């Protein structure tokens, strides 16, 4: 059965998350003022490394133009750096120069096709641009690298991409299950998987993942509360249904989930 995507899937990695992740990877580089750092006796590799981290710092502050200036200088020093092209791609995406960003991602992969982190960021970029078919292809290559440290997140986003291009629910479910097997803290993957299982009438497993989600997230999202209402009805648990409904009304009275709940009650009364 093909996925009809009636469940919510978590939004793909934001640009800000990508920048913060890269910043964490560069924490060992020394950042200081330009006149001090880039003297003649500083090695080219250290200059490139430092300019990349300065660029990332500017990106994290929401200043893509300053980031691009630093990264362009790094690229002038080493035009064959896959890492510089990766960060430049993120900077140009931040500046809404999407074609230029894509060109730098492609250049990055042409320089180093084994650069898994860069390929993952390219996949997330494609998802943000809603090119889910190409994102699906790229992220399948990412998860093939069993030593990649953020493989769980890649599995989760691959599940999202698979759902978007109409892959079968069992494939989407598999990707979410693999993501959670690698990282049990991915609460958005739990609720996404619970939604799929509910849609496919695997109510017992759906309840398991919803319970796991609610153990970790307080307060529950409107989406989780509405799913709780639906599952309580399946299991004829009036107490849980009322509890979920009260929480949904009190916490999210203007949400689309609450409107769906109210509409369901009215339709049942007609």
User: In whole angstroms, what is the distance from residue 156 CA to residue 172 CA?
Assistant: 9
Q: 3-state SS of 163-180?
A: HHCCCEHHHHHHHHHHHH
Write down the pLDDT at residue 87. 95
129 Cβ neighbours under 8 A, 6+ residues apart: 98
Could you tell me which of 44, 139, 262 has the C-alpha nearest to residue 52? Answer: 44
Residues of the chain with pLDDT under 50: 1-9, 27-33, 35
Could you tell me which of 150, 156, 149, 152 has the C-alpha nearest to residue 188? Answer: 156
Write down the pLDDT at residue 180. 97
**CA quadruple 85, 90, 95, 98: dihedral sign:** positive
Q: How many CB atoms lie within 10 A of CB 233?
A: 14
Domain borders along the chain are 15-217
The CATH homologous superfamily of the domain defined by 15-217: Tetratricopeptide repeat domain (1.25.40.10)
User: In whole angstroms, what is the distance from residue 54 CA to residue 141 CA?
Assistant: 30
Write down the pLDDT at residue 149. 94
Tell me the pTM: 0.84
């Amino acid at each position: 059965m093909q996925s009809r995507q009636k469940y919510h899937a978590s939004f793909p990695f934001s640009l800000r998350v990508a920048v913060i992740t890269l910043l964490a990877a560069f924490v060992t580089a020394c950042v200081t003022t330009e006149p001090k750092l880039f003297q003649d006796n500083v090695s080219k590799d250290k200059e490139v490394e430092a300019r990349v981290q300065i660029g990332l710092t500017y990106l994290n502050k929401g200043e893509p133009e300053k980031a691009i200036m630093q990264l362009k200088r790094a690229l002038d020093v080493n035009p064959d750096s896959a890492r510089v092209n990766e960060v430049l791609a993120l900077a140009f995406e931040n500046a809404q120069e999407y074609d230029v960003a894509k060109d730098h991602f492609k250049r990055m992969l042409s320089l180093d096709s084994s650069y898994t982190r860069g390929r993952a960021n390219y996949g997330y970029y494609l998802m943000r641009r809603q090119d889910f078919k190409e994102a699906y292809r790229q992220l399948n290559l990412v998860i093939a690298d069993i030593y990649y440290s953020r493989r769980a997140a890649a599995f989760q986003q691959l599940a999202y991409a698979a759902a978007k291009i109409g892959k079968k629910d069992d494939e989407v479910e598999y990707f979410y299950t693999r993501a959670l097997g690698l990282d049990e803290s991915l609460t958005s993957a739990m609720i996404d998987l619970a939604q799929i299982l509910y849609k496919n009438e695997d109510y017992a497993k759906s309840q398991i993942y919803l319970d796991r989600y609610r153990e970790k997230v307080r307060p529950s999202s409107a989406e989780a509360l509405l799913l709780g209402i639906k599952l309580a009805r399946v299991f004829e648990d009036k107490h849980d249904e009322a509890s979920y409904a009260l929480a949904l009304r009190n916490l999210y009275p203007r949400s689309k989930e609450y409107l769906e709940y109210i509409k369901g009650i009215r339709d049942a009364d007609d």
